[in-house]
């Protein structure tokens, strides 16, 4: 693609994004406006506006009112706002829970959020043992390669998960990393069935981990809690102990946040 074509494409994308934002701000202030009113007051060609409105209604960001033939902001807007609030509360609620997890297991643990196509550590507590795996806020990894990432990915709404799987490139980070979509899909189905994710040297050689998702009241994966340890200590008894601790930790967080 030539630089001129790229610039035109980027300009068109920015213009479309600006129209969406202008529309949200306009309806947020005035509400219940017809197609004609929106086109006139925001100076958007009617043909372009028709497709934009259809898409936003289908995704739940707008609602069409047949009686007035007007459009209003939809429930998806409120859902986004709730998720921001939930995520903010989650970090403060999770801090003492993370300390409890490490106290119970003597292993490093973390709270992870989805950031684009990656999972990112937003809070962590380090194991007091000499042989340990260190995690800190800001660390990130592909969703498909870590226990925390898989716990998040497996519980995304189907449309979001399919979109991710249709474009992700599975790079072989270690010899154990999953590198085919069918294998990843099968593992994600297993994660949903079992309620937890597990990796053994898929992101870091010598390290294994387990994770459980932290689901909102609506079932959206707001975060995941994971425990990571050297494979020298990753025996069945240790894994089962970690999973039991994570189950209690997730229940505690969801209870404190009012999601159960």
Domains of the chain and any CATH numbers: 3-73 (1.10.10.10), 79-256 (3.30.450.40)
Question: Model pTM?
Answer: 0.71
pLDDT in tens, the chain (260 residues): 444 444 434 455 577 788 888 998 888 888 889 999 999 989 999 988 999 999 999 988 999 999 999 999 988 887 776 665 555 578 999 999 999 999 999 999 999 999 989 999 999 999 999 999 999 999 999 999 999 999 999 999 898 899 999 999 999 999 999 999 999 999 999 999 999 999 999 999 999 999 999 998 878 899 999 999 999 999 999 999 999 999 999 999 999 988 87
Q: What is the pLDDT of residue 2?
A: 46
Only one residue has tokens 């950031």, namely 115
Measured in degrees and rounded to the nearest 5, phi and psi for residue 108 equal -70, 145
pLDDT at 86: 56
Q: Quote the CA–CA distance of 227 and 245 in Å, as a whole number.
A: 10
Virtual CA dihedral for 47, 50, 53, 59, nearest 10 degrees? -110
Strands across the sheet containing 221-230: 140-142, 118-125, 108-115, 221-230, 207-215, 197-200
Q: Give the model's pLDDT for residue 225.
A: 98
Q: Where are the alpha helices (DSSP H) in the chain?
A: 3-29, 35-42, 46-58, 75-105, 147-154, 158-167, 181-194, 236-256
């Amino acid at each position: 693609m030539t630089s001129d074509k790229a610039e035109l494409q980027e300009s068109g994308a920015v213009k479309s994004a600006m129209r969406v934002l202008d529309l949200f701000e306009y309806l947020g202030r005035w509400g219940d406006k017809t197609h004609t009113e929106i086109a006139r007051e925001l100076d958007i060609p009617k043909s372009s506006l028709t497709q934009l409105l259809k898409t936003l209604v289908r995704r739940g960001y707008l609602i069409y009112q047949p009686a007035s033939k007007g459009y209003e902001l939809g429930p998806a807007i409120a859902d986004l706002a709730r998720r921001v609030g939930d995520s903010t509360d989650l970090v403060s609620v999770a801090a003492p829970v993370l300390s409890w997890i490490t106290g119970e297991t003597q292993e490093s643990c973390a709270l992870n959020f989805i950031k684009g196509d990656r999972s990112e550590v937003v809070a962590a507590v380090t194991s007091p043992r000499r042989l340990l795996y260190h995690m800190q806020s800001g660390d990130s990894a592909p969703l498909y390669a870590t226990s925390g990432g898989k716990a998040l990915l497996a519980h995304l709404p189907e449309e979001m998960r399919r979109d991710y799987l249709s474009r992700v490139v599975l790079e072989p980070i270690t010899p154990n990393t999953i590198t085919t979509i069918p294998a990843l899909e099968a593992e994600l189905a297993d994660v949903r069935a079992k309620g937890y994710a597990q990796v053994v040297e898929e992101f870091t050689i010598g390290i294994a981990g387990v994770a459980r998702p932290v689901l909102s009241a609506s079932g959206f994966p707001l975060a995941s809690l994971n425990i990571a340890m050297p494979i020298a200590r990753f025996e069945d008894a240790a894994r089962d102990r970690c999973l039991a601790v994570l189950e209690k930790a997730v229940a505690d967080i969801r209870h404190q946040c009012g999601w159960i």
